[in-house]
Amino acid sequence: MTTQYRDAAGPYFGDYGGRWMPESLVAALDEVADTFAKAKADPEFTQEYFRLCREYTGRPSLLTEVKRFAAEAGRARIFLKREDLNHTGSHKINNVLGQALIARRLGKTRLIAETGAGQHGVATATAAALFGMECVVYMGSADTRRQALNVARMQLLGAEVIPVDHGAQTLKDAINEALRDWVASVDTTHYVLGTVAGPHPFPEMVRWFHQVIGEEAREQILAQTGRLPDAVAACVGGGSNAIGIFHGFLDDPDVELFGYEAGGDGVATGRHASAITLGRSGVLHGARSYLMQDEDGQTVDSHSISAGLDYPSVGPQHAYLSDQGRVTYQPVTDAECMSAFESLCRTEGIIPAIESAHALAGAARLSAEWGSEGAAKVIVVNLSGRGDKDVATAAEWFDLLPDQDTEDQSEDSGAPNIGVQA
Amino acid sequence: MTPTPQSKSAAAIDAAAGEGRSAFIGYLPAGYPDKETSIQAAIALIENGADILEVGIPYSDPVMDGPVIQQATTEVLARGFRISEVFDIVKAVTDATGAAVLVMTYYNLIDRMGAEEFARRLVEAGGAGAITPDLIPDEAQDWIAATDKYGLDRVFLSAPTSSPERTQLVAQASRGFVYGVSIMGVTGARDSVSDLAAQVVRASKAAGAQRVCVGLGVSARSHVEEIGSYADGVIVGTALVTALRDGGAEAVGQLARELSGKS
């Protein structure tokens, strides 16, 4: 196999990437880059990493065909890469275990992380517990409210969760606060960035730890169908689960790759998180990439029903792959996403993370667009996480909770609204 | 560092040195608490002893700023601040005082406007140049070209963690002075000055920097005196912003007199 897009090295991906960071942190970034470069070439490191993947995370994750879900969407066969079955419930653990091993090599004893939905925070708290390290997780105040149970999970795992009240109180503000911590604590602390954004070497390093998703998925789909898929679909916030599964197929030109961004209320409303669809080149959190910004260059607050996709930029390699036309990025609205969420729950007995439901909605849309031609086609969807954390949000969306406000109670208030609202 | 006689900040630092003292550089956020008061506060700061003014441009994601400056700039953004206001403020203060006025800005604000256009408008307003806390020389090709074209100062930061190679890169890329980061952390007043500051100044000078000014955590006259004994300039931010918040332009003038040893 020729390598055109695979194994792309930082700091630059075309015009994107780099290190737009305060000088104070450059020495630490150099140290991480150097340690990572040596570690991935060191069999002792890679054996330890893949041992943890097998014996702690539970890899390889399954590839599950979802016939009933696929039949509702269209004619194509749909397979789910089951990252939701990993320990801690999402793909995030792949990266965190890798970076915790890097932190140990660096002699760091404290891990800090940002989190949106809480999946990366939970994964980091888990790795800190496993490695006997101190852990602090920064989380936007708005997100601590919509993901209260994940806050409790992190605390049970021994982490301190610090709510961030600045700005939009979401993922980007949590990253700002984590960077402020890091610049003051870099002697003892490794910043476990949770996605393929940020300064070099994070986009390359975080991707490397997630490449296992795509490598497994490629082998599994060949084993289960005897062929490569026609399309691979993933949700994109910062873009770590997407780059992880795409990487396995980047140099298979017949496999179309689709990244689904959070369309919020619809990109026309301005309330969305579709950085590639509507963003412009800019620098945020250490990387040049597509960025949701106003005319002055101020970051525009993003919006999504999914806290994990609520980020106004995207990993620089995604910006590059979009410009190259190798990956197609499209928005999926909250309503489309929740429709797919409900469909998977009902037809397959799998409750997906709301993030991952964006990819399911995209795959369903693709299959519908193919019409009867879809009968001969295969889609692999990265089911990046499970939806236990999202039950409260979904219950509210579908009006499943007992009405708190008696004045609002109408005659049919007890009836679930599933499938109607979306 | 490129020795350029036309560098306004270098000239201000050299003039202070001619009086046997280090330069006093004061930071205030643009447009805080409103445009007119921020101009009055800046003029009061300069008239009461500041040699160079640093005007911070409010930004949505200020990763190098502590709570006081974040709070101030968040308020400014919330009232609908637009970037053109900065050039008005620079012009008003420069016209009134003739002092060297630098802007302090996160790089995306320059990037969005375009480095060349930003530099052109800054020169037009009479500005001396810019301090860019999240821009390292490695990524600064556009900014270096634009500041060369318009003869503006470009101040990069040197940190306690900078390697000798990076210290040299920063010294060579900077014009006007090198901003020596005195502590590992964000902006904010601190009780004492870290001894890292002296090391940063020494390393930058050894790497060829002609002028090194020290900032982060400086809030009292005693800090100014201590840092002034080895640095070419002392930068004060948060303490002045606190004074402006609590007592307006008058309090800024009063604190400036204290910090500069005039009262």
Percent of the residues in chain A that have a pLDDT greater than 70, as a whole number: 95
**Touching check for B165 and chain A: CB below 8 Å?**
no
Confidence of residue A147 (pLDDT cuts 50, 70, 90): confident
Residue A78, strand partner residues: A379
Judging contacts by C-beta atoms under 8 Å, the chain A residues touching residue B159 are: 22-24, 26-27
What secondary structure does DSSP assign to A343-371, as a single string? HHHHHHS--B-HHHHHHHHHHHHHHHHHG
> Among all residues of B, which ones are annotated catalytic?
54, 65
Fill in the DSSP letter of residue A59: P
* Terminal C-alpha separation, chain A: 43
**Between residues B191 and B46, the one the model is more confident about:** B46
Please tell me which of the candidates B107, B158, B186 has its beta carbon nearest to residue A283. B107
Q: What tens digit of pLDDT does each residue of A67-87 get?
A: 999 999 999 999 999 999 999
pTM of the model: 0.94
pLDDT value at A419 more than 50: no
Max CA distance (Å), chain A: 66
Confidence of residue A121 (pLDDT cuts 50, 70, 90): very high
Work out the minimum CA distance from A178 to partner chain B, whole angstroms. Answer: 9
Q: Which residue of B has its CA nearest to A284?
A: B108
Q: What tens digit of pLDDT does each residue of A162-173 get?
A: 999 987 788 899
Q: What tens digit of pLDDT does each residue of B60-110 get?
A: 999 999 889 999 999 999 999 999 999 999 999 999 999 999 999 999 999
Distance CA B254, CA B263 (A): 8
- Is A44 one of the annotated active-site residues of the chain? no
* Residues in Cβ contact with A167 at an 8 Å cutoff, skipping those fewer than 6 apart: A173, A176, A301, B60, B61, B74
Q: What tens digit of pLDDT does each residue of B138-168 get?
A: 999 999 999 999 999 999 999 999 999 999 9
**Touching check for B243 and chain A: CB below 8 Å?**
no
pLDDT value at A422 more than 70: no
The residue written with tokens 């888990």 in the block is A126
Q: What tens digit of pLDDT does each residue of A212-266 get?
A: 999 999 999 999 999 999 999 999 999 999 999 999 999 999 999 999 999 999 9
Query: What order do you get walking across the sheet with B129-131 strand by strand?
Result: B153-155, B129-131, B100-104, B52-56, B23-29, B233-236, B212-215, B178-181, B157-158
Work out the minimum CA distance from B255 to partner chain A, whole angstroms. Answer: 27
Average pLDDT estimate for A308-314:
89
pLDDT value at A409 more than 70: no
- The rounded mean pLDDT for chain A is 93
**Touching check for B62 and chain A: CB below 8 Å?**
yes
pLDDT value at A414 more than 50: no
The predicted complex's ipTM stands at 0.94
Work out the minimum CA distance from B43 to partner chain A, whole angstroms. Answer: 26
Ordered by where they begin, the domains of chain A are 13-55+92-202 (3.40.50.1100), 58-89+210-395 (3.40.50.1100)
* Residues in Cβ contact with B42 at an 8 Å cutoff, skipping those fewer than 6 apart: B28, B53, B55, B89, B93, B101
Annotate A187-201 with three-state secondary structure.
Answer: CCEEECCCCCCCCCC
Residue A404: the pLDDT is: 63
pLDDT value at A308 more than 90: no
**Between residues A268 and A122, the one the model is more confident about:** A122
Average pLDDT estimate for A95-122:
96
- Look at the domain B8-255 and name its fold: TIM Barrel (3.20.20)
Q: Which residue of A has its CA nearest to B131?
A: A22
Confidence of residue A405 (pLDDT cuts 50, 70, 90): low
Work out the minimum CA distance from B35 to partner chain A, whole angstroms. Answer: 17
Judging contacts by C-beta atoms under 8 Å, the chain A residues touching residue B158 are: 23
Residue B154, strand partner residues: B130, B175
A contact set with B (CB within 8 A): 18-28, 30, 166-167, 172-173, 176, 179-180, 183-187, 280, 282-285, 291, 293, 295-299
Distance CA A202, CA A239 (A): 12
Average pLDDT estimate for A179-187:
93
Q: Which residue of B has its CA nearest to A182?
A: B185
Q: What tens digit of pLDDT does each residue of B1-38 get?
A: 544 448 999 999 999 999 999 999 999 999 999 999 99
